[in-house]
């Protein structure tokens, strides 16, 4: 779906739809709005934001306003309104929270966990390949589950991914991940081009929820925090790359971030680690 010149995922479209319906209900409750978007004013939006801040978290308010801005910009492009009243809308700044991630020893412990109870050799090999790809390439779980035969070149170690906004990128995943995939394919068989690389027990591609559940079992077996998600392996990949000297822009390309500022959040984690080491090691710290 296109909205304001962007390709949005089905999940984002669903979230935007809920936000727009919520705003429409608010407008009808606060003034008997008839649904005519051309009559919407900047004052309406400001009042909406002020009231929402009293009952919702800031991130929720930002998400709702993002939906409104995108919809109104799209409506203006189509000639439905002459101008968008959201142009000058000011929102409170969001707190910059650092992402959770696994430390290098924790990651090592997770990847060395071994088989789970009642696992077949093929399922064990597949799950190991899943974890190694998530960490080795910094893949999103949706990108991982969307991999097909031909996307991963075992000779070059490069994987072709379809990321957010239907943006394609090619990134390395590392020799350890390649070895795990080879071990899995030796049991599963080589997939044809276009066939899912990672198969669910009943055939078809793995689902992100299945990856999440598998990870929870692996975390429990390794004695690691249960609230870590597949996305935390992506965070770990970025953080460990930077901590070991990788260039920030190369990490941006690896993760498929549209903006460098998104990747820069990981520098705070490496600087925090450096500060901690400095305090412990420097004689005048």
Cβ burial, residue 76 (10 Å; 0-12/13-18/19+): middle
Q: What is the pLDDT of residue 164?
A: 78
Residue 151: what pLDDT?
95
Domains defined along the chain, listed by start:
2-77 (no CATH), 104-228 (1.10.443.10)
* pLDDT at res. 168: 87
What's the confidence (pLDDT) of residue 4?
A: 45
Regions of the chain short of the pLDDT cut 70: 1-8, 95-99, 268-278, 281-285
The per-residue pLDDT for 173 is 93
Give me the active site residues, please: 140, 164, 231, 234, 257, 266
Q: Is 196 left (phi over 0), alpha (psi -120 to 50) or beta?
A: beta
| 252 touches 153 (CB < 8 A) | no
CA angle 9, 10, 12 (to 5 degrees): 65
Look up residue 11 and give its two tokens.
Answer: 């999940």
Q: What is the pTM of this model?
A: 0.66
Q: Which residues of 124-155 are buried (b: 16+ CB within 10 A; e: fewer)?
A: bbbbbbbbbbbbbbbbbbbbbbbbbeebbeee
Q: What is the pLDDT of residue 165?
A: 72
Calculate what percentage of the chain has a pLDDT beyond 70.
89
């Amino acid at each position: 779906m296109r909205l304001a010149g962007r390709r949005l995922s089905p999940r984002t479209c669903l979230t935007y739809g809920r936000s727009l319906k919520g705003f429409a209900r608010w407008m009808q409750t606060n003034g008997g709005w008839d649904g005519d978007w051309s009559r919407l004013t900047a004052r309406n939006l400001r009042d909406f934001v002020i009231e929402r801040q009293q009952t919702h978290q800031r991130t929720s308010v930002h998400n709702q306003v993002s939906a409104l801005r995108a919809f109104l910009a799209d409506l203006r492009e189509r000639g439905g309104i002459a101008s968008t009243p959201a142009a000058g809308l000011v929102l409170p700044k969001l707190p910059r929270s650092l992402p959770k991630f696994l430390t290098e020893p924790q990651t090592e412990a997770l990847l060395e966990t071994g088989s789970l109870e009642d696992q077949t050799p093929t399922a064990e090999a597949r799950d190991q390949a899943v974890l190694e790809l998530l960490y080795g390439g910094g893949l999103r779980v949706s990108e991982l589950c969307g991999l097909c035969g031909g996307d991963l070149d075992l000779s070059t170690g490069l994987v072709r991914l379809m990321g957010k906004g239907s943006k394609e990128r090619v990134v390395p995943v590392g020799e350890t991940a390649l070895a795990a995939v080879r071990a899995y394919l030796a049991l599963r068989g080589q997939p044809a081009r276009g066939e899912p690389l990672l198969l669910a027990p009943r055939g078809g591609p793995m689902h992100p929820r299945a990856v999440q559940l598998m990870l929870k079992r692996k975390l429990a077996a390794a004695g690691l925090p249960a609230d870590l998600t597949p996305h935390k392996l992506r965070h770990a990949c970025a953080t460990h790359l930077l901590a070991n000297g990788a260039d920030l822009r190369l990490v941006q390309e690896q993760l498929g971030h549209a903006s460098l500022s998104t990747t820069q959040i990981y520098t705070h984690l490496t600087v925090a680690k450096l500060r901690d080491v400095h305090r412990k090691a420097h004689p005048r710290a």
